[in-house]
Structure 1
Amino acid sequence: MFEGINFEDKQFFWLLLLLPVAIVWYVVKHKKQTAELKISSIKGFKVVPSILPKFRHILFVLRLLALAALITAMARPRTVDVITKTKTTRGIDIVMAIDVSASMLAKDLKPNRLVALKKVAAEFIEGRPNDRIGLVIYAGESYTKTPITSDKAIVLRSLEDVEYNTTIEGGTAIGMGLATAVNRLKDSKAESKVVILLTDGVNNTGFIDPKIASELAVEYGIKAYTIGIGSNGMALSPVGLLGNGEFQYARVQVEIDEVLMQEIADATGGKYFRATDNEKLEAIYDEINKLEKTDIEEFKYYNYQEMFRPLVLLAGMLLLLEILLRVTIFRSFV
């Protein structure tokens, strides 16, 4: 009944405690006012059956309902229609550079590194509704999967399509991945530009040196958060193809050029992280999400509609009805 209604002066509801007091008072008073007459026989009296005396208590009930309505009206019930408008005052453009080399199919993260990354990255994208995001993928070479866009549905579909394939050259060209991401962001007008660079290996191919790419990032005011993904020690990784086209797996030493990743992060003002399992990978993206915040200015417009008037009117009608019944139908009984 009161869904969507707020009461501004709830303290008046304490007055409802008067109702049970009034009921007790009425019962006691009624017993005291009831007269008794004892006679030996009523055969000489003409008895006219009537049920009206049994309903005379309705007058008191009407008065109680009127009092309850007035108390509720004093509590100032009203509905609130809130219109919210947001204004982004500091936008962030983000490019996620993802390593898609064969080693990303290693199973030290479940079910493998690439699938685990895609799940966490999708949650990160969904949590950045006010920012523009792009995707770059790289192995031995790199290319833009999705230019920076505010359409998260496009980015999420592109991320879902990211997988290992033999279309691009094998290897790990960290410099190429970073340079392509920088190229996507260099003309951005956003106040903050960020690259999230992820790899599970060492830079072993490509014609752009990672340090040159990081210098370009600095020149364009781009910050790089670098992530090394892979457990410490050995990991079950693809080492070849079987006759049926499936990968052959063996335990391989995990090698990540953490020194290089740390240097890139330090040079650009970012931070280096190491994800050795699914939980740490998720925690890393949560931390980046907290580090890179978009300032949002929110405006709220309130439209109040007071609801006490109908209650006052109801109370008045109940009292009027009680008076009419008292001076007409129940005149002989009260």
Structure 2
Amino acid sequence: MFENIEFANPEFFWLLLLLPLALLWYFFKRKNEMASLRISSIKGFTVKSWASKVKPVLFGIRLLALAAIITALARPQTEDISTRTKTTKGIDIVMAIDVSSSMLARDLKPNRLSALKEVAANFIEQRPNDRIGLVGYAGESYTKTPITSDKTIVLAALDDITYGELEDGTAIGMGLATSVNRLKESKAISKVIILLTDGVNNSGFIEPRTAADLAVEFGIKTYTIGLGTNGNALSPIAYNRDGSFRYGMRQVEIDEKLLEEIAEVTGGKYFRATDNESLEEIYDEINKLEKTEIEEFKYYKYEEKFRPLIFLAGILLLLEWGLRNSIFKSFI
């Protein structure tokens, strides 16, 4: 009965302080409630009445009834809360991923592309209310998956991204333009591109600045990420006879000025990731910057529990009245 009970008017419990005062009053006044007979000796009286000894039980029953009434006045109730969420501002996001051979460099563990896929997967899982698409680019660009709310499809497509699907090179402008093309028809209030590269624009027929202007025209914010350590990195430099890569130290060159310009003109931000930890921190920061507004509605249902207490108080008062006018009638 009293599981998960809350009280709507707990201030009524202050009335319980009257009960100890009533006990004190009864203790000092109970002898005056019965008529007394003064005689010189009681040796001739041998009858002993049990009723007179248990008469204080009547007062105890009345106090219990009062305690039940006070508790009922405090309005015990249970609360049932149901919630409903409504997404009031959805975000459409396209992640443009460089898949050139330099993304196999091992300055991030196990390599840049694998490290990116792991961090990007965590980012996607933290965006349950947004639509996400993937664009891959190297010497050219292509849509890996259009924007969708089905995260299972996006995560599977991300895991499937590998080097060798495109001609080698780094077409930043193509990757950005394809991402813009995926978002230009979007009706979302906020449209975002996260463009990651570890090189300089050296391929494609669309200039990065032209693609950035297109992003501005369609109201698309672009966050850019330069990936790779400063200086030299262990990277693929040639093929072995079995077709595998031969690794050697190679100079890392990232056009940070271009990436900063793209981010600034589109209202985004440029980040530099030199290891696994900084890459993860960057995606965490973007996740915080681009928040989806969610409105939560709570519905409260209260069930009053005072009725059983009133019923109990009534039973106790009837019991006290019945005993007072039957068994204890001769002593009151």
TM-score normalised according to structure 1 size: 0.78
Q: Which moved more, 1:267-276 or 1:98-107?
A: 98-107
| Structure-2 residue corresponding to 1:290 | 288
Mark the runs of 5 or more structure 2 residues left unpaired by the alignment: none
- Corresponding residue number in structure 1 for 2:155: 156
Instruction: Work out the number of aligned pairs and report it.
Output: 329
- Report Cα offsets for 1:5-31 as digits up to 9, x if no partner: 432223333444555666677778789
* Whole-Å separation in 2 of the counterparts to 1:200 and 1:100: 9
Secondary structure at 2:165 match in 1:
coil
CA contact (8 A) 1:236 1:251 kept: yes
Aligned to 1:136: 135
* Corresponding position of 1:258: 256
1:280 aligns to what? Answer: 278
User: Helix, strand or coil for the counterpart of 1:273?
Assistant: strand
Distance 2:185 2:120 in 1: 24
Question: Residue by residue, what CA displacement relative to the aligned partner does 1:252-311 show, whole Å, maximum 9, x if unpaired?
Answer: 433221111111112222211112233433332233233333344444444333332333
Write the letter of the residue equivalent to 2:181.
N
Tell me, in whole angstroms, the C-alpha distance in 2 between the residues paired with 1:53 and 1:103.
Answer: 101
Checking the alignment, whether the CA contact within 8 Å between 1:139 and 1:170 is kept in structure 2 is yes
The structural deviation recorded for 1:201 is: 1.9
Distance 1:4 1:203 in 2: 64
Query: 2:187 is matched with which residue?
Result: 189
Aligned counterparts of 1:329 and 1:244: Cα–Cα separation in 2: 108
Question: TM-score w.r.t. structure 2 length?
Answer: 0.78
Q: Match for 1:168 among 166, 169, 172?
A: 166
Moved more, 131-140 or 243-252: 243-252
2-side partners of 1:240 and 1:28: how far apart?
Answer: 106
CA shift in 2, pair 1:316/1:262, >3 Å: same
- CA shift digits 1:38-87 (9 cap, x unpaired): x9999x96899x8x999877656544543443333222233344444444
Q: Are 1:9 and 2:9 an aligned pair?
A: yes
Q: Following the alignment from structure 2 to structure 1, what is the Cα–Cα distance between the partners of residues 100 and 28?
A: 90
Percent identity (aligned)? 68
* Mapped pair 1:98 → 2:97: yes
Q: Counterpart in 1 of 2:70? A: 71
**C-alpha distance in 2, partners of 1:301/1:25?**
48
Distance 2:18 2:209 in 1: 80
Q: Which letter does structure 2 place at the counterpart of 1:106?
A: A
Task: Quote the offset at 1:132 in angstroms.
Answer: 1.8
Higher alpha-carbon deviation: 200-209 or 176-185: 200-209
Distance 2:238 2:58 in 1: 93
- State the structure with more CA Rg: 2
Residues 76, 212 of structure 1: CA spacing in aligned structure 2 closer, same or farther, 3 A cutoff?
same
| Partner in structure 1 of residue 196 of structure 2 | 198
- Contact 1:101–1:164 (CA under 8 A) maintained in structure 2: no
Conserved? CA contact 1:89–1:296, under 8 Å: yes
Bigger shift: 139-148 or 150-159? 150-159
